[in-house]
Structure 1
Amino acid sequence: MSASIYDDCPELLRSFLFYMETIKGRSPNTISGYYVDLRLFFRFLKRYRNLVPQNTPLEEINIDDVDAALLRSVTLSDVYEFMHFLSADRQNNARTRCRKSSSLKVFFHYLTTKVNVLENNPIKELEVPNSKKSLPKYLSLEESVTLLSQVEGDNKERDYCILTLFLNCGMRLSELVGINLGDIKEDSIKVTGKGNKERIIYLNDACVAALNDYLPVRLSKSPKDRQALFISRNGNRINKRRVEQIVTENLKKCGLDGMGYSAHKLRHTAATLMYQHGHVDIRALKEILGHVNIGTTEIYTHVSNEQLKKAADASPLAHVQKKSRK
């Protein structure tokens, strides 16, 4: 955790962020989110409690003096006032308010159970705003096949392998660019996910074939980064931005550009196709995707209208009809 970024952190917030990063293994983006959310709450609290002049812009309110005494005084009503402020003054939607509520709940749980600053958690009963989860956008099976069939160019073996791993394994963009040659076994790849957690992803025949086509090309080169599986034209480990460009370029070739698809949507595609067509158990899918909570994986249990129609037609009473009277 870079100290310079969090110079205005009070000691308790700094220790919380350090704990979440080093002990809980949260990603830098998650740590930054906690910081931003809690900083806003502290600024609001100081103004709400008249600890600073009311006309002081939020961005100018210093939080480095927030101490245990102030945090012990926080009530559930204070937090609901904060939620109202987010909705009315800042026009935050339910999803944003839900995230900020979650940050507060994690922080006050830490104060209560890890450092014993609080005897009782004042926001334990905080109700999180209802945030309807949108269905993940994904390519259909036919679109996925079309995407793979259109890969051409000087780096076609590399690009085809990248797309194949995305569409079959559901790995994250950061996981894909981080793969080293030594991570590859005969039928598996070791990837490093969020919080530096490693997991093994098993490879199907399509992935093995794509790797077998690409590896001779890769091993014929002497790049600057000798460990990286995927390398750029300059011999460096390929970066996330270049992979995103590769995905966009190939989507455009087959007429799928401008539809909201991206490298991350290929991860959604892999998960959805596994669930809908491969009938993969939701618990197995959780492990494949590297999710911490199964609730995250459940967004892939959505069903298409076609599946609903098939389910209705599959009823054993589907063909039982009332006999007409003569």
Structure 2
Amino acid sequence: MSEIRNTTNKYKDFAYSDDITKLLTVELSNKDKKKLHITYSNYYNLGVSRGYEYIIEDIFKLSEIHKLTTSQLSLIYDTGVRNIQIWLKELGLNRSIKKAKKINKKNFHTDIEFNSDKNSNSNNLTLINKFGIEILESKNLPQSLSSFLDYLETIKGKSPNTIKAYEIDLSLFFKFLKVYKGLVTDTDLEFEEIDIKDINNDFIRNIKLTDIYAFLSFSEKQRGNGTYARARKVAALKSYFKYLQGKAKIIDENPTFDLESPKISKRHPIYLTLDESINLLSSLDKKSKNYHRDYCILTLFLNCGMRLSELCGIRLDKIKGDTLTIIGKGNKERTVYLNDACLKAIENYLKFRDDSKALPEDKEYLLLSSRFKPINKRTVELLVKKHITNSGLENEKYTPHKLRHTAATLLYKHGNVDIRSLQSILGHENISTTQIYTHVDEEILREAANSNPLSKL
């Protein structure tokens, strides 16, 4: 397989269309100049060379001043949306999901059209479609892959996170294949810049199981993917080729039919004991301005076994008495029953919750950050880590997901909750996922061992 260089001179003396050039003539305010200075600092702090080095100021103007979306930028610079996202993240220009949605929504209703020069040939690209229909080619994906992702969303009802994960894995697969089969000749090209739009049905029909094995080997040895990451890639490939054979009727033979998923060794879940859980809750500093909020978060984790995303998405109008309706994995709605401890924690928090500076749409969420925004997952991860350390446990393995394990373990071990009920409480689609908690009653195993008639010899 040929070597792919990490840098490119593709954007040195990059030729823009007249429309884009007009956008780049904008004058920067002092505030914008300070932001641009920070942007350059972020680049230099990377300590590595990037191909977009020559167009940093242009990227800043287009993304920060003109608020162009990542899809629009990908068309201008003839690269994938994922690559643009990486650029913006490295430069500190990445947007929150909420902000990105607002930009997309706003730009959807404009009729701006401008050109993007590629190899000195000006192609008129309509970056905004005034009819609100996303043009398939703008995704920079093979048509069959775009159709598959649409199928996952509209027919299978998969969550945005799942769809994005499949898109990333399958795009990586096609980029690998183009290199593996010797179809990439530009040695100045970055791996993320490999164009896969031209992959057609004939190319797909010629994919063999051996090609997939080579990709999985590449994922493990070159990209450092562990068992779980490779298993996810296998799942994405099997689902994609199943769709191509059964729904799209593009292939007659499915190359993943005999493909096995990497064996994942089942490990006991890491969890807090009952005493450790009580100690954690009692260790919070009552003088802290966020005491009632953080106590509420930990109480909900330890009693309800919610996922992190589920907790951050709790809305006030979904709390009815002792029931809470949440949207779980796969966009599935389920009901969580709140015990007295949860109801009391929520009530106490709402007495002290300051939403005076929150936007009306943000006030609808139960948990707010210090910036009066719905609390995000990273904030919760950090506060859980802080309180775990302060409680004396000092175990980096205790994440919000481990608190979910704790709730499940306490319910099964001390609450005598049967496995089927536990499956429903946790929102597991498959009961085999829930069965990892059946190991936890060590006392029964200890008594069984001691009951051996030879144990007293």
TM-score by length of 2: 0.63
Verify the 8 A CA contact 1:189 1:200 in the aligned structure 2.
yes
Instruction: Write the letter of the residue equivalent to 1:112.
Output: Q
SS of 1:63's equivalent in the other structure is coil
41, 44, 63: which one aligns with 2:176 = 44
Report what 2:427 is aligned to: 290
SS of 1:189's equivalent in the other structure is strand
Displacement of 1:91 in angstroms is 4.5
Q: Does the alignment pair 1:260 with 2:397?
A: yes
Report what 1:238 is aligned to: 375
Q: Does the alignment pair 1:12 with 2:149?
A: no
Q: Does the alignment pair 1:63 with 2:200?
A: no
Report what 1:209 is aligned to: 344
271, 279, 283: which one aligns with 1:138 = 271
- What residue ranges of structure 2 are gaps of 5+ in the alignment? 1-69, 75-80, 83-138
Report what 1:125 is aligned to: 258
Deviates most, 93-102 or 301-310: 301-310
User: What is the alpha-carbon distance in structure 1 between the residues aligned to residue 453 and residue 291 of structure 2?
Assistant: 51
User: What is the alpha-carbon distance in structure 2 between the residues aligned to residue 228 and residue 249 of structure 1?
Assistant: 23
SS of 2:336's equivalent in the other structure is strand
Q: Does the alignment pair 1:195 with 2:356?
A: no
Displacement of 1:59 in angstroms is 4.1
Using a 3 Å threshold, how does the CA distance of structure 1 residues 293 and 155 change in structure 2: closer, same or farther? same
User: What is the alpha-carbon distance in structure 1 between the residues aligned to residue 332 and residue 420 of structure 2?
Assistant: 18
Q: Does the alignment pair 1:154 with 2:289?
A: yes
Aligned-residue RMSD, C-alpha: 2.9
Using a 3 Å threshold, how does the CA distance of structure 1 residues 142 and 48 change in structure 2: closer, same or farther? same
Instruction: Write the letter of the residue equivalent to 1:70.
Output: F
Instruction: Write the letter of the residue equivalent to 1:17.
Output: L
- What residue ranges of structure 1 are gaps of 5+ in the alignment? none
Verify the 8 A CA contact 2:227 2:263 in the aligned structure 1.
yes
Report what 1:170 is aligned to: 305
Q: Deviations over 1:213-242 (max 9, x none)?
A: 333334996743332212233433223233
SS of 1:201's equivalent in the other structure is strand
- Higher normalized contact order (CA 8 Å, seq sep 6+, divided by chain length): 1
Verify the 8 A CA contact 2:149 2:167 in the aligned structure 1.
yes
Report what 2:231 is aligned to: 98
Deviates most, 101-110 or 277-286: 277-286
Report what 1:84 is aligned to: 217
Using a 3 Å threshold, how does the CA distance of structure 1 residues 141 and 71 change in structure 2: closer, same or farther? same
165, 180, 186: which one aligns with 2:321 = 186
Using a 3 Å threshold, how does the CA distance of structure 1 residues 78 and 287 change in structure 2: closer, same or farther? same
Using a 3 Å threshold, how does the CA distance of structure 1 residues 113 and 145 change in structure 2: closer, same or farther? same
Displacement of 1:171 in angstroms is 0.7
Using a 3 Å threshold, how does the CA distance of structure 1 residues 223 and 40 change in structure 2: closer, same or farther? closer
Displacement of 1:137 in angstroms is 1.9
Instruction: Write the letter of the residue equivalent to 2:160.
Output: P
Q: Does the alignment pair 1:302 with 2:418?
A: no
Using a 3 Å threshold, how does the CA distance of structure 1 residues 130 and 218 change in structure 2: closer, same or farther? same
Using a 3 Å threshold, how does the CA distance of structure 1 residues 275 and 133 change in structure 2: closer, same or farther? same
Using a 3 Å threshold, how does the CA distance of structure 1 residues 242 and 146 change in structure 2: closer, same or farther? same
Q: Does the alignment pair 1:270 with 2:403?
A: no
Q: Does the alignment pair 1:31 with 2:171?
A: no
Aligned residues: 319
Using a 3 Å threshold, how does the CA distance of structure 1 residues 223 and 89 change in structure 2: closer, same or farther? closer
Using a 3 Å threshold, how does the CA distance of structure 1 residues 67 and 269 change in structure 2: closer, same or farther? same
Percent identity among equivalent residues? 50
